[in-house]
Amino acid sequence: MIRFLKDKSWFSKITAWFLVFSLLGCASGGFVKAPEDPELNAEAAKAYAELKSKSKISTHPKWNAMLKRVTNRIAKASGEDFQWEYVLIENPDVNAWCMPGGKIAVYTGIMPVLKTEGALAAVLGHEVAHATRRHGKQQYARSMNTNLLGLIVGGIIALGGQALCKTNECKLLTGIGGAAAGFAATFFTLKFSREDETDADYCGQQYMAKAGYDPSESISLWQRMSESHQGQALPEILSTHPSDESRQERLRATLAETKKIYSSSKKKHGLGERIR
Ligand SMILES: [Zn+2]
């Protein structure tokens, strides 16, 4: 958003500020009621369907098979009764996410960085935990309001969304200006709190261990991730998940506990298959 404000036309600036003030208005205008699960999950499902229809879906047989089994195992380990879905998107970005209600996407660009199936389990464990632990509900509440606002001001939300979005998915969805625009603008710009990140790290590590993957791979994963971008732009996933020392320390601190979960898991996959 800051970058945008420097280099775009005055009209876009006004549009962006209009949206910013709308969002702030919603935020400061008293208590914003967090959406109930069915409502939020329905918004997510719409955005997910729109996004899938506009994306190039990967047909990589090995990676798709791997994503399928890891998703199934993590979903089961989470104990959550979501309408789980996953998709492998042909996209060079290093990114993966899980929308509320269990709508998962993994980008082909992250696969070589992950290197192992266990690391995929660690990433999915973390992303899934954001969904199962209902993180970011207040932000979503604001997005629902923004969505209503969008219906009132028509095309402006589409333009404003373009301005606020940093990611292609967000631009795609808000550009459509469809029913999922408010949700998409929030989901793809969402910054979880430090507490939410700590919680997702902890739960994610438990999920992967329960699913039968060696939880120590979660530590190696974030190390590899932060090394992966040397001299290049920061991977998308790291802009929302800074892999700093404190994250590594947190993951190390809970390792003894999750190793126990891992050792009592029925089927052990270790690090799983290598990704190539
Ligand atoms: Zn996170």
Last residue of a domain, one of 164, 187, 210: 187
pLDDT tens for residues 129-188? Answer: 999 999 988 777 776 666 555 544 445 445 555 555 566 666 665 554 555 777 777 787
Residue at 268 is within a domain: no
Q: Are residue 128 and residue 213 in the same domain, yes or no?
A: yes
Residue at 271 is within a domain: no
* Helix, coil or strand: residue 136: coil
Give distance in angstroms: CA of 130 to centre of ligand 1: 7
Q: Are residue 88 and residue 162 in the same domain, yes or no?
A: no
Q: Which stretches within 133-193 are classed as H helix?
A: 137-153, 155-164, 168-176, 181-187
If one counts every other C-beta atom within 10 angstroms of the C-beta of residue 259, the result is 15
Residue at 274 is within a domain: no
How far is residue 143's CA from residue 100's CA, in Å, rounded to a whole number? 13
Average pLDDT over all residues of the chain:
80
> Is residue 95 predicted with pLDDT exceeding 70?
yes
Give distance in angstroms: CA of 108 to centre of ligand 1: 19
Last residue of a domain, one of 145, 167, 187: 187
Domains of the chain: total: 2
Q: Are residue 244 and residue 118 in the same domain, yes or no?
A: yes
Q: Are residue 79 and residue 204 in the same domain, yes or no?
A: yes
Residue at 125 is within a domain: yes
Q: Are residue 159 and residue 123 in the same domain, yes or no?
A: no
Q: Are residue 131 and residue 160 in the same domain, yes or no?
A: no
Give distance in angstroms: CA of 32 to centre of ligand 1: 23
Give distance in angstroms: CA of 62 to centre of ligand 1: 26
Predicted TM-score (pTM) of this structure: 0.81
Q: Are residue 141 and residue 252 in the same domain, yes or no?
A: no
Q: Are residue 220 and residue 126 in the same domain, yes or no?
A: yes
How far is residue 112's CA from residue 254's CA, in Å, rounded to a whole number? 27
Q: Are residue 156 and residue 21 in the same domain, yes or no?
A: yes
Residue at 11 is within a domain: yes
Residue at 105 is within a domain: yes
Give distance in angstroms: CA of 96 to centre of ligand 1: 10
Q: Are residue 176 and residue 250 in the same domain, yes or no?
A: no
Boundaries of domain holding 251: 38-135+193-263
Q: Are residue 231 and residue 128 in the same domain, yes or no?
A: yes
pLDDT tens for residues 46-82? Answer: 989 988 988 999 999 999 999 999 999 999 999 999 9
